[in-house]
Amino acid sequence: MLTTRFFHWEALKQLAMAKKKKAVEVSLSTEEKIKAAASMVFTKKGYAATRTRDIAEEAGINLALLNYYFRSKEKLFEIVMVEKMSKFFGVVWQVLESKAMSLEEKTGSIVANYIDLLNANPDLPIFILSEIRMNPARFASRVPLSKVAGSDFMKQIKKQRPDLHPTQFLMNLLGLVVFPFIMKPVLEQSGMLTEKAFQSQMNLRKELIPKWVKAFLKTA
């Protein structure tokens, strides 16, 4: 009898744990669904024009459930923005500070990593441009540009081209990588490039941009 009760108790305990685990999984799934919907709506409409109701509808949930997970639009935007900022700028920090890589190697790594990142997250440039336009102070507080300015990468540029402000090089490099993704909808709508052709051309730019940059650095 005791053995039977023990196994019955164990079965109940395992069932309770399974239910709890499932509830946690559902909770996490709902949070991710809300964040994905928020990212889409914020990118499409911008922060000011977005309503929490829009996000709830995009996520396929009711407004009360959204408010349960994220108390306000401001809080949700902050979470989404931080994640996107981390993705967008986190790619290059280790490369910038590497002592083992040459300037040419760093350039190639930055280009390849950014193109891979933007191919996987094509909405990122528009999201960031929108944030810069709407709230430049908040954007600046999230992006430690002073860290970039003092990086080994910038010192290498200055050493190779002492006549050139390193920021000029950085702006050119990021422009060559990011601008095509901003223009992507126009290129596709005009018929100049299909989705597949765009992906192919961006992969080709992994080879082309470092060559263009190398030539730029040699220009006296």
pLDDT in tens, 119-150: 877 777 877 787 778 778 877 777 667 778 88
pLDDT at 28: 53
CB 149 within 8 A of CB 190: no
Return all residues near 70 (Cβ < 8 A) that are at least 6 apart. 34, 76, 79
Write the CA distances from 174 to 104, 111, 156, 177, integer angstroms: 15, 8, 17, 5
Most confident of 22-36, 90-104, 130-144, 197-211: 197-211
Average pLDDT of the chain is 81
CB 65 within 8 A of CB 17: no
pLDDT in tens, 21-78: 444 344 458 889 999 999 888 877 777 788 999 999 999 999 999 999 988 888 888 7
Q: Enter the pTM of the model.
A: 0.69
pLDDT at 20: 47
Q: Using CA atoms, how far apart are residues 206 and 119, in angstroms rounded to an integer?
A: 12
Residue 143 burial (C-beta neighbours within 10 Å; 0-12, 13-18, 19+)? middle
